[in-house]
Amino acid sequence: MTPSVAADAPLLQVGTLTKTFGGFTALDNISVDIRKGERFGLIGPNGSGKTTLINCISGALRPQVGTVVFAGEDITQLPPHLRARRGIARSFQIPRPFKSMTVLENLMVGLDFATDRSASGPEEEIAMSILQRMGLSAKASAPTDTLSQVELRKMELARALAVRPKLLISDEAMAGLSSSEVDEVLDLLISLGEEDITIIMIEHIMQAVMRFSERVMCLDAGRIIAIGAPAEVMANKRVQEAYLGT
Ligand code: ADP
Ligand code: MG
């Protein structure tokens, strides 16, 4: 095989994943490949299995059946911190900053876990450049409890970026933001996609999903009911029924 074959391989390969809790099947035989640099929207009604799927990818949960392959490596049995080290980062629904620290200090904590720091000089410089990317450099010395809601979201993203992820997973990072703030965060996410960071975004705000995603996958009761171009998926009858049903 030539190296170009490997370069074209998907970054993430989820294969026949099944996750049950007791007798309840939260994920039922999920298979999906996500390519490098893809902006991938994950939707579905409450309880459809979105967070469970993300947990199986990040390592918080282990599936009973199936595999998760990341950058060509089977990571199904790896603990979360080793997956993080390989480049999987999550941004959580509820921002969880270290409250007594400044914004810059919060980022430095993240950098302590970074995989490859040799390329771009001292950590503080890296942290400042990430804050600049997120439009937060003026807040570097501010305690995190003085930040607004949208600033907290941006800091959460900055913390995720501090580990230099190949794959960034955003689980409802827009909740509680105004529509102009949603657009701001979307612009940031889209610009990360342009740098070949692969992004999986879970989001309830459909306009945000439509604008962000190159591809959308809709789950219902642990199964994939539609996957494809955003407009196609939104127009899908089963998708519309799944949302009407909740
Ligand atoms: P979503 O993120 O799409 O709202 P989840 O993945 O959080 O859905 O949940 C899918 C289903 O699995 C829900 O019915 C939920 O109650 C169940 N579930 C999730 N995590 C657990 C758990 N740790 N134990 C038992 N049931 C769970
Ligand atoms: Mg969820």
Give me the phi and psi of 91, to 5 degrees please: -115, 125
State whether 104 and 175 are in the same domain: no
The DSSP string of 154-215 is HHHHHHHHHT--SEEEEESTTTT--HHHHHHHHHHHHHHHTTT-EEEEE-S-HHHHHHH-SE
Mean per-residue pLDDT of the chain: 88
Q: Is residue 83 part of a domain?
A: yes
- pLDDT at position 6 is 60
State whether 129 and 141 are in the same domain: yes
Which helix (H) or strand (E) covers residue 153, if one does?
helix 149-162
Q: What is the mean pLDDT of residues 162-186?
A: 90
Q: Which of 113, 141, 164 is the last residue of a domain?
A: 164
Q: Is residue 189 part of a domain?
A: yes
Q: Is the CB of 50 under 6 A from ligand 1?
A: yes
Nearest to 41 by CA among 223, 219, 243: 219
State whether 80 and 196 are in the same domain: yes
Q: Which residues contact 20 (CB under 8 A, 6 or more apart)?
A: 26, 64
Ligand with minimal distance to 26 CA: 1
Whether the Cβ atoms of residue 126 and residue 118 lie closer than 8 Å to each other = no
Looking at residue 119, the DSSP 8-state letter turns out to be: G
What is the residue range of 127's domain? Answer: 96-164
- pLDDT at position 106 is 84
State whether 157 and 171 are in the same domain: no
Q: Which residues contact 208 (CB under 8 A, 6 or more apart)?
A: 174, 182, 186, 201
**pLDDT confidence tier of residue 176, bands split at 50, 70 and 90:** confident
| 161 or 32, which is more confident | 32
- pLDDT at position 2 is 41
Q: Is residue 126 part of a domain?
A: yes
Question: What spacing in Å lies between the alpha carbon of 26 and ligand 1's midpoint?
Answer: 6
CATH code at position 218: 3.40.50.300
State whether 107 and 217 are in the same domain: no
Could you list which residues have their CB under 5 Å from ion ligand 2?
Answer: 50-51
State whether 28 and 54 are in the same domain: yes
Q: Answer yes or no: is pLDDT of 164 > 80.
A: yes
Number of domains making up the chain? 2
Q: What is the pLDDT of residues 13-37, one digit of tens each?
A: 999 999 999 999 999 999 999 999 9
State whether 43 and 62 are in the same domain: yes
Lowest mean pLDDT segment, chosen from 29-43, 52-66, 140-154: 140-154
- pLDDT at position 175 is 83
Q: Is residue 155 part of a domain?
A: yes
State whether 177 and 69 are in the same domain: yes
Whether the Cβ atoms of residue 145 and residue 162 lie closer than 8 Å to each other = no
- pLDDT at position 93 is 53
Q: What is the mean pLDDT of residues 42-46?
A: 96
Question: Percentage of the chain with pLDDT > 90?
Answer: 66
State whether 232 and 186 are in the same domain: yes
- How many helices, marked H, and strands, marked E, lie in the chain? 10, 10
* Paired tokens of 109: 């904590």
Lowest mean pLDDT segment, chosen from 68-72, 146-150, 162-166, 226-230: 162-166
Q: Is the CB of 2 under 6 A from ligand 1?
A: no
Q: Which of 149, 164, 179 is the last residue of a domain?
A: 164
Q: Answer yes or no: is pLDDT of 220 > 60.
A: yes
Q: What is the mean pLDDT of residues 74-84?
A: 94
Q: Tell me the C-alpha to C-alpha distance, in Å, between residue 95 and each of 52, 57, 144, 148, 163.
A: 19, 20, 11, 11, 17
Nearest CA to ligand 1 atom 20: 52
| 13 or 206, which is more confident | 13
Spatial separation of the C-alpha atoms in residues 218 and 236, rounded to whole Å: 10
